[in-house]
Amino acid sequence: MKKYFGLLLIIALISCKPKTVENSGGLIIDIDITGKTAKEKDIATAIDILKSRVDLLCPNSPTVELIEGKNTIQVKLPLTKDSMLYKENLLIPGKLSIVETYENKEVYKSLQDINESLFNNFNYQFQIPIDSTNKLTKLPLFRVLYPAITSDGNLINGPEIGYSKDTALVNSILKFNAIKTLFPADFDFKWARINSNGLFPLIAIKKTIRYQPITSQMVSDSRAIKNSFGWEVNFTLKPEYCKTWADITKNNIGRALAIVIDNNVLSYPRVNSEITGGKATISSNMTPEQAKALSTILKYRAIPFEFKIKKIKEIKAP
């Protein structure tokens, strides 16, 4: 009887051993604090924000802590089928901005001017692919940035001005000093998520800020919702910012507003009417996990400084 009791005690002790990444598998992620202005208070805030994010979506007791003596925050995500997805969608700054856009028809002339300038002056400045069809010989930009036009040659409505696989090359062209002057003075651009054709849409953004910018700090609540087309994130602004949002939407009826997270455009809905009550929606062909992660990020604010993921160590389950 004593032998059985001893055996049961050993089994009980083993089974009561707390699950950790080290003994059960998961990810150990070191986040390097790169922001030069990151203060002790900001770091503490960042840790609280990250804890709130991962605690809500990772049920297996994740941990977030500052490594003493280093500018590093360490996150431990116990093994789940979504561990890597959470890393990609939760461990980001999460900076929200909602900005006004240009219409494709308003900047298409600039794209034509860029083609002419590249062909006449800077054709060899960039490694633009050779046109094997001879149809785009004098249109070097359109070899790497496919214009947003229909098959019958009409301009597509909205802020999409082109599509590309090589975003780095397009960036270098459009940011070239002699090229960027061909756009309106307050023109900027940002990339949206890759589409079903494997291309990244380029969105025309206005730099001029006519209103108080909508940011993460203004969000009071957010929810991931499944609709008939997939998943979306609905969020509500704090009462004191509802008037600003109403003014922005009222003055952009018939135009698109770009919803941006960390410099990437998630969606660019067209405004049909003034929106009162501070409500907004992000619909961007998201998976359930991506929608829930985005909702969590909006709910718990943005990280108040720059950082990058320095190291990821994957520990396999025993």
CA distance 250 to 232: 23
Burial class (CB in 10 A: 0-12, 13-18, 19+), 44: exposed
- 62/24 Cα distance (integer angstroms): 12
Q: What is the pLDDT of residue 8?
A: 39
310 token code pair: 């320095």
Predicted confidence at residue 83, as pLDDT, reads: 63
Instruction: Map out the domains of the chain with their CATH numbers.
Output: 23-93+304-315 (3.30.70.3400), 96-100+209-299 (3.30.1360.200), 104-206 (no CATH)
* 3-class secondary structure, 264: strand
Distance between first and last Cα of the chain: 32
Structure tokens at 289: 């996990």
Query: Residue 35 has what DSSP assignment?
Result: -
* pLDDT < 70 stretches in the chain: 1-19, 35-37, 57, 59-60, 79-87, 132-134, 318
Gap between the Cα atoms of 277 and 221, Å rounded: 13
**Buried b or exposed e, range 247-257, using 16+ CB within 10 angstroms:** ebbeebeebbb
Q: What is the pLDDT of residue 92?
A: 85
